[in-house]
Amino acid sequence: MIAELGLAALWLAAALAVLQLVGGALALRGGTESELAALTRPAAVLQGGLVALSFAMLLWVFAITDLSVKLVAMNSHSAKPLIFKLSGAWGNHEGSMLLWVTVMALAGALIAGIERRLPERTMQATLAAQGFVALGFYAFLLLSSNPFERLPQPAAEGLGLNPLLQDIGLAFHPPTLYIGYVGLSVAFSFAVGALITREVTPAFARAMRPWILGAWVFLTLGLVAGSYWAYYELGWGGYWFWDPVENAALMPWLAATALLHSAGVLASRDALRVWTIMLGVVAFSMSMLGTFLVRSGVLTSVHAFAVDPERGSFILLLLTLYIGGALLLFALRAGAISEGERFSVASREGALVVNNVMLSAILAVVLLGTLYPLLTEAFDVRVSVGPPYFNPVGAIFAFPMLAVMAVGPLLRWRRDSWGRISKELALVAAMLLAGIVLFAVLGEIALLPLLGLAFAVALAVASFLPLKGRRLKRVPIATWGMITAHFGIAVMLFGMASEGAFSQERLAALEEGGTTSVGPWAVRLEAVEPVAGPNWTALAGRLTVRHRDGDPQAIAPQSRNFWAPPQQTTESVLVTRWNGQLYAVMGGSSTDGRWQVRLWWKPFVTLIWYGGLLIALGGVLALVGRVRSDLKHRYISRRITERREERETA
């Protein structure tokens, strides 16, 4: 019954999406007084409730392990801990698509419920667009990936007792990314709505901004978590592989970052109208494109998901409909949007334009690199594109962007001169040069990490310069958000550059009792012992590691063998210090009775993820600041009208 209830809720939600689309469209044609138009908002809200109910039902069948539901039988097992039963609900194709529409419908319900700043016509157009996009994903879910499908006979037991899937990181990483991906659908609908009504105003950008910020925070967290997960779980010592799945998550982030900044210009200065609309369309397009690339299997990836050409075709169809449709609308309508306010090159807007252009260029570089194998395979040539391409080509655009990021926030809006901020410019340039010289003297470092270290130092200082000459208590929260996020970029950059410049690796074949060293660590293999788990056996290398004159520490990385299904994994061990991490992996035995041990010393590598968290925190601060000042604004304008009314009655 529960599963049928979930399915019914989903069908009803799809019907409401139709109503939302039709209501919104009629409102645009017949004016906002039309009777159906009044139903658009309630339809969106109710739809959100129904889809949430449907998702709750899916969680329920997973929680009680209802083995007559195919998805449960395929992906769960009665003996799993509850938390992994629940996370199993979205750890598969159907469930994750349901999560996708759940986030989408809830976002739609939220804008319908609380957004009051936009002109009603634009609002109706936005909701119609949101309904239209949701409709396609409902169709996909209901027609080709029904999560509630029953088995003719209940299975005796589920197939999903895979201990390797029981990883807390794996359980919460996809939903985080999904909220980010799908949150961008709101920006997309806003952009389409504004294109339809041609009303691209600062109020529109202010309404859109919190949504972009929210989605962006989740995307940032998802990327950071995914990167750390890959780092500790895959046992290769790397944190980013330029793999298609990773790029699929990075591209929406790049577009959303650009959108965030251009929406800021539109909100404050009423400039960059067409560009902001374009980015609004592109950001969610990148989310859908990422989903397509990941789910259709047209690209080879180290991470991979269900591969099913039929589903791939369906997603491609949706992609064509929505992205193609939005871009067509853009081509037809954008010419009619009047030019915004003008500004000079040396101004805050000018710097933000450069930032946007550079971000777009990096996006283009990543997109082309990701799609290149698709292109060459059309000519029967198989290639893989990796760090030798992405790192240098991306860096060509990243460093100018970082430079602009350091000084841009110091410029005034509209018109400014470089002379006014010459002191700050000189300071940043001096820091940069000093950094380059210092780190170059310190040791032989490749060009990119060297530049990275120097830029990180300069940027870290520069990010606080906007505070100069201001009373700290009076600095708006949103500005603190910007400072935190920019500082976070500097921290992350330092971690990456340090990892690239100073990492040391040691691969040794050790006898029991043998010693080796990596960086400042002395390592001794005490013994290799068999360890047994509930469904695996492992060889654990008991290692004693010692940092310079510190106390010795005992660690035991494992090489695990699972049976049913037979699989082998490495359980790496990380030893974290304030200034870096020791990363130890146990390999197999060599023929002569020695054991392979692989060790890395990665100075300051943890800064990569701390920096990422700072960036997300900056986003949260900005969001809080924006929402608070919005509420204040509303309160004040309400008080003003109240006063006026009082005066008039008196």
Partner 1 sequence: MSWRLWLPFLLFFGFAGLAAYQLSQPKDDTIKSTMVGKELPYFTLPPASLERPGVDSRYFYEGEPKLLNIWASWCLPCIAEAAQLEQLKDEGVEIVGVAIRDEPTDVMRFLTQHGNPYTRIGRDDLSEVQLAIGSSGVPETFVIDGKGVITYQHVGDIRHEHVPMLLEELRKAGR
Partner 2 sequence: MKAKHQRLVLVILALVALVGAGLLAAYALRNQASYFYLPEQMQAEPPEVGQAVRLGGMVAPGSLATQADGITVTFTVTGRENSAVPVRYAGILPDLFVEGSGVVAEGRLAADGTFVADNLLAKHDENYVPRELEGMSEHQAAEMAEETTVGLE
Return residues touching partner 1 (CB under 8 A). Answer: 156, 159, 278, 281-282, 285, 292, 296-298, 309, 312-313, 316, 319-320, 323-324, 327-328, 330-331, 334-335, 371, 374-375, 377-378, 563-566
For partner 2, which is the closer residue by CB, 320 or 376?
376
Question: What residue 70 binds from partner 2, partner 1, none (CB within 5 to 8 A, per partner kind)?
Answer: partner 2
Residues 458-517 that bind partner 2 (CB under 8 A): 507-509
Question: What residue 316 binds from partner 1, partner 2, none (CB within 5 to 8 A, per partner kind)?
Answer: partner 1
Burial of 36 (0-12, 13-18, 19+ CB in 10 A): middle
Residues 151-180 that bind partner 2 (CB under 8 A): 151-153, 155, 159-160, 162, 164-165, 167, 170
Residue pair 370/254 in contact by the 8 Å Cβ criterion: no
Q: With CA atoms as reference, report the closest residue to 97 among 126, 50, 136, 150.
A: 136
Question: What residue 171 binds from partner 1, partner 2, none (CB within 5 to 8 A, per partner kind)?
Answer: none
Shortest separation between residue 332's beta carbon and partner 1, angstroms:
8
The CA-atom distances, in angstroms, between 328 and each of 126, 137, 143, 182, 334 are 17, 20, 27, 22, 10
Shortest separation between residue 444's beta carbon and partner 1, angstroms:
41
Backbone phi, then psi, for 584, in 5-degree steps?
-120, 135
For partner 1, which is the closer residue by CB, 86 or 279?
279
Q: Does residue 399 bind partner 2 (CB under 8 A)?
A: no
Shortest separation between residue 535's beta carbon and partner 1, angstroms:
11
Q: Does residue 572 bind partner 2 (CB under 8 A)?
A: no
Query: Distance between CA atoms of 232 and 579, rounded to whole angstroms?
Result: 18
CA 644 to chain centre: 47
Q: Does residue 337 bind partner 2 (CB under 8 A)?
A: no
Shortest separation between residue 368's beta carbon and partner 2, angstroms:
4
Query: Distance between CA atoms of 281 and 574, rounded to whole angstroms?
Result: 42
Query: Distance between CA atoms of 411 and 222, rounded to whole angstroms?
Result: 32
Query: Distance between CA atoms of 131 and 126, rounded to whole angstroms?
Result: 9
Shortest separation between residue 299's beta carbon and partner 1, angstroms:
9
Question: What residue 395 binds from partner 2, partner 1, none (CB within 5 to 8 A, per partner kind)?
Answer: none
Cβ atoms < 10 Å from Cβ of 513? 9
Q: Does residue 389 bind partner 2 (CB under 8 A)?
A: yes
Sort residue 469 into left (φ over 0), alpha (ψ -120 to 50) or beta.
Answer: left
Residue pair 294/198 in contact by the 8 Å Cβ criterion: no
Q: How many residues does the chain have?
A: 650
At residue 475, the 3 state secondary structure works out as: coil
Shortest separation between residue 60's beta carbon and partner 1, angstroms:
26
Q: Does residue 531 bind partner 2 (CB under 8 A)?
A: no
What are 142's two structure tokens?
Answer: 């209901």
For partner 1, which is the closer residue by CB, 376 or 576?
376
Dihedral in degrees, nearest 10, Cα atoms 429, 434, 440, 445: -50
What are 196's two structure tokens?
Answer: 């339809």
For partner 1, which is the closer residue by CB, 120 or 157?
157
Out of 37, 112, 266, 585, the only residue in the binding site for partner 2 (CB under 8 A) is 585
Residues 76-105 that bind partner 2 (CB under 8 A): 91-93
Residue pair 287/395 in contact by the 8 Å Cβ criterion: no
Out of 8, 56, 329, 357, the only residue in the binding site for partner 2 (CB under 8 A) is 357
Out of 30, 31, 113, 392, the only residue in the binding site for partner 2 (CB under 8 A) is 392
Shortest separation between residue 624's beta carbon and partner 1, angstroms:
34
Query: Distance between CA atoms of 421 and 103, rounded to whole angstroms?
Result: 45
Shortest separation between residue 159's beta carbon and partner 2, angstroms:
6
Shortest separation between residue 286's beta carbon and partner 1, angstroms:
11
Question: What residue 312 binds from partner 2, partner 1, none (CB within 5 to 8 A, per partner kind)?
Answer: partner 1
Query: Distance between CA atoms of 608 and 402, rounded to whole angstroms?
Result: 16
For partner 2, which is the closer residue by CB, 401 or 457?
401
At residue 522, the 3 state secondary structure works out as: strand
Shortest separation between residue 470's beta carbon and partner 2, angstroms:
28
Q: Does residue 274 bind partner 2 (CB under 8 A)?
A: no
Q: With CA atoms as reference, report the closest residue to 124 among 44, 11, 187, 212.
A: 44
Q: Does residue 311 bind partner 2 (CB under 8 A)?
A: no
Total of chain residues touching partner 2, rule CB under 8 A: 81
The CA-atom distances, in angstroms, between 340 and each of 61, 120, 188, 451 are 53, 22, 20, 37
Residue pair 571/455 in contact by the 8 Å Cβ criterion: no
The CA-atom distances, in angstroms, between 151 and each of 5, 308, 505 are 16, 21, 52
- Angle at which helices 2-30 and 120-139 cross, to 10°: 140
Question: What residue 296 binds from partner 2, partner 1, none (CB within 5 to 8 A, per partner kind)?
Answer: partner 1
Q: Does residue 350 bind partner 2 (CB under 8 A)?
A: yes
For partner 1, which is the closer residue by CB, 274 or 393?
274
Pick the stretch among 374-382, 445-453, 487-495, 521-529 that binds partner 2 (CB under 8 A). 374-382
For partner 2, which is the closer residue by CB, 324 or 386?
386
Query: Distance between CA atoms of 544 and 522, rounded to whole angstroms?
Result: 8
DSSP state of 582: E
For partner 2, which is the closer residue by CB, 375 or 426?
375
Pick the stretch among 119-127, 489-497, 559-567, 634-642 that binds partner 2 (CB under 8 A). 559-567
Burial of 447 (0-12, 13-18, 19+ CB in 10 A): exposed
For partner 2, which is the closer residue by CB, 357 or 475?
357
Out of 78, 313, 320, 376, the only residue in the binding site for partner 2 (CB under 8 A) is 376
Question: What residue 164 binds from partner 1, partner 2, none (CB within 5 to 8 A, per partner kind)?
Answer: partner 2
Out of 444, 549, 551, 592, the only residue in the binding site for partner 2 (CB under 8 A) is 592
Query: Distance between CA atoms of 496 and 489, rounded to whole angstroms?
Result: 10
Query: Distance between CA atoms of 31 and 381, rounded to whole angstroms?
Result: 55
Out of 233, 270, 526, 630, the only residue in the binding site for partner 2 (CB under 8 A) is 233
Shortest separation between residue 246's beta carbon and partner 2, angstroms:
13
Query: Distance between CA atoms of 440 and 445, rounded to whole angstroms?
Result: 7
Shortest separation between residue 605's beta carbon and partner 2, angstroms:
20
Question: What residue 330 binds from partner 1, partner 2, none (CB within 5 to 8 A, per partner kind)?
Answer: partner 1
Q: Does residue 576 bind partner 2 (CB under 8 A)?
A: no
Sort residue 414 into left (φ over 0), alpha (ψ -120 to 50) or beta.
Answer: left
Query: Distance between CA atoms of 327 and 339, rounded to whole angstroms?
Result: 19
